[in-house]
Amino acid sequence: MSTPNGTRNDGADLAEEAAATKIVYDLAPRCTIDDIETGKRYHASVNGVVEYGIFVDLSESISGLVHSSNLVGRYDVGDELIVELLEIHEDGDLGFAEVQMAEYDTVRVAPGERITTEEASAFTGEVVHLDGQVVQVKQTSGPTIFQVRTETGVVPCAAFEDAGVRAFPGVEIDDIVRVVGVPEPRRDYTQIEVQNLSVLTGDSAQEVLGRLRDGEAAVAEPEAVEPLVEWPAFEKLSDDLEAVARRLRETVLEGRPIRMRHHADGDGLCASVPLQYALEQFIARTWEDPDAPRHLLRRLPSKAPFYELEDVTRDMNYALEDRKRHGQKLPLVLMLDNGSTEEDTPAYRNLAHYDIPVLVVDHHHPDPEAVEELVEMHVNPYLHGEDYRITTGMMCVEIARMIHPDITSEIRHVPAVAGLADRSEGEAMNDYLALALEEGYDERRLVEIGEALDYATYWLRYNDGKELINDLLAVNCDDRERHERLVDLFAARAKRDVEIQLDAAMQHVTHEALDNGAHLYRIDVENHARRFTYPAPGKTTGKIHDRKVEETGDPVITIGYGPDFAVLRSDGVRLDIPEMVTELKAEVPGGGVSGGGHLVVGSIKFVSGMREEVIDALVEKMADAEIDEEIGTSAVLPEEE
Ligand code: MN
């Protein structure tokens, strides 16, 4: 009895062996001697009868002798029988023996032409085979689409059982398979029309896995690019950035979707947009399916300066739905300009229940001990004795170039936008500004681009607004004039809305002189600023702060508070906000204090009934802080909704 092909041969070794002895191979006409092995059994047809035996054909080019001593029955030309290959003589002659089997499984063997994803389009219309790993199984209303990874990339293989019926139900994600089929040209890609799909086990599977590993190592290797600027501080991070680039390239090849979670501000966009662009190009290069970039990559803005439970719950929900509905693997989460702090760990603990790796590229003051055990990679300048001046946008532009260097000219102005948006005073800022100037952007314009981005992402809320954001940042944007007009419009609106906000709020700012000589300004952003409009409380506080710094020229601290939160900005005062939060937790019992951010810029949450106690304790600490000789060591606040 013959069973359908494509059934799984897994289970114990014994069962595998028993199954293997039942296999009879049916060679396709173009198979060659490379496709056969001694000890294996084959379907053969008689092409000649002689005194000492019969000659049999296994394919167009494979023929040999069954000596009469190895022959059981009597045959005429054209008869079919099953033979075992006994030996391949030195001169290439083949010796067979007849085998009589009551029960067997037929496995069709493809011709010698084994192709990779890359070669598929060169073999359209021909029967070929490819060996690889199933990375996605999607049931359409027509065929079942198996996305199969070979050593060079991923190719869609369409198998049809019946409309909407799962073909080869025994084949699952991660299986090592041999696909026999015909590459067919589609509109702008090649798809394999499957004739047979069989799961490989044992040595043949190991061999394929070995080839996939070698292929992946080669294809995933980041491109060797020189950093855009020479900057010793930045060089310390280059191994880390390269490791992230490699991991992302591997992730694409392995068919694991990537969910980018980025802080919804200027730097977060400068980090995520170039990476999104580079990864899309890399996916298009390694996946035949033109829809793959859309399915494998999502960019998701996060309002909070940490990974909120709301965000992670959505992420998990989407991941599980995509797995069920689209036969996708669970994703990798890539945290950008976010993700380094203890506040992120509850979210990470949720993901830890599933196979969802996390990579972090951030420049906020980190809590490495809390984060490290929960994430696979943690890149942060503070871990190398550097600080926020290396912005996430600067780091990610280099990662993007290691993934797809061809986009360099389109993204080389981005680090300057990121640096200005986050007020980086890194020594490389002048070099970054010079690069942007070569692309036609002066410093004033770069600031406006940052403001326009900030304004757009505020109103986009949870939407990535891909096309609009690309146009505003002039990345993957085909119309520079439209970019200019949009930046004009959005930057002007941002400016206008800030004016409107400050017109009201400035009247309600209170002042006191701290013991250390710094000015302290307070503003109740809940009651004295417009709510649910741009700029949000964090930015409103920041703008008030900037005005006061300019007005006084002295050390300034500004607190903007709501019922259960406060945002902090300081210039000329040596604050350590993460440290202050830790102390407040202990000193104000029942305050429910949490928060963090950069050293001199951050946010604190507390329970509303304890606001006075928390803010009083906070102000006391600020009054004790040392004054800086130099004023102007500020960074942009991670804003809160
Ligand atoms: Mn940032």
| Burial class of residue 512, CB neighbours in 10 A (0-12, 13-18, 19+) | exposed
> Please, which residues bridge with residue 570 across strands?
557
Q: What spacing in Å lies between the alpha carbon of 517 and ligand 1's midpoint?
A: 30
Please tell me the distance from the alpha carbon of residue 290 to that of residue 308, in angstroms, as a whole number.
33
Q: What spacing in Å lies between the alpha carbon of 550 and ligand 1's midpoint?
A: 23
What average pLDDT does this structure show over 510-524? 95
Q: What spacing in Å lies between the alpha carbon of 267 and ligand 1's midpoint?
A: 5
Please tell me the distance from the alpha carbon of residue 155 to that of residue 461, in angstroms, as a whole number.
36
Which CATH number applies to 14-109?
A: 2.40.50.140
Give the containing element (helix H, strand E) for 346.
Answer: helix 345-351
Q: What spacing in Å lies between the alpha carbon of 493 and ligand 1's midpoint?
A: 23
CA-to-CA separations, 265 to 262, 559, 591, in angstroms, rounded:
8, 20, 29
Q: What spacing in Å lies between the alpha carbon of 183 and ligand 1's midpoint?
A: 47
Which CATH number applies to 509-627?
A: 3.10.310.40
Residue range 73-98, pLDDT digits in tens: 999 999 999 999 999 888 889 999 99
Q: What spacing in Å lies between the alpha carbon of 363 and ligand 1's midpoint?
A: 6
pLDDT number for residue 241 = 98
What average pLDDT does this structure show over 502-527? 95
Quickly tell me which residue has 């075992």 as its tokens: 84
Domain boundaries, the chain: 14-109, 113-216, 232-486, 509-627
Quickly tell me which residue has 């929960």 as its tokens: 374
Which CATH number applies to 113-216?
A: 2.40.50.140
Q: What spacing in Å lies between the alpha carbon of 149 and ligand 1's midpoint?
A: 36
Is the model's pLDDT at 599 over the cut of 80?
no
Q: What spacing in Å lies between the alpha carbon of 392 and ligand 1's midpoint?
A: 6
- Topology agreement, domain 14-109 and domain 113-216: yes
Q: What spacing in Å lies between the alpha carbon of 26 and ligand 1's midpoint?
A: 61
Q: What spacing in Å lies between the alpha carbon of 127 and ligand 1's midpoint?
A: 53
Please tell me the distance from the alpha carbon of residue 304 to that of residue 269, in angstroms, as a whole number.
14
| Model confidence, pTM | 0.81
Is the model's pLDDT at 631 over the cut of 60?
no
How many other β-carbons are positioned within 10 Å of the β-carbon of residue 367?
A: 17
Estimate the crossing angle of helix 429-438 against helix 414-421, to 10 degrees: 130
Q: What spacing in Å lies between the alpha carbon of 368 and ligand 1's midpoint?
A: 17
Q: What spacing in Å lies between the alpha carbon of 401 and ligand 1's midpoint?
A: 19
- 232-486 under CATH 3.90.1640.30, yes or no: yes
User: How would residue 641 be classed by pLDDT, with cut points 50, 70 and 90?
Assistant: very low
Please tell me the distance from the alpha carbon of residue 310 to that of residue 321, in angstroms, as a whole number.
17
Q: What spacing in Å lies between the alpha carbon of 606 and ligand 1's midpoint?
A: 24
User: How would residue 551 be classed by pLDDT, with cut points 50, 70 and 90?
Assistant: very high
**Average pLDDT in the chain:** 91
Query: Distance between alpha carbon 286 and the CA centroid of its chain, in Å?
Result: 14
What average pLDDT does this structure show over 4-10? 42
Q: What spacing in Å lies between the alpha carbon of 77 and ligand 1's midpoint?
A: 79
In one-letter notation, the amino acid at residue 415 is P
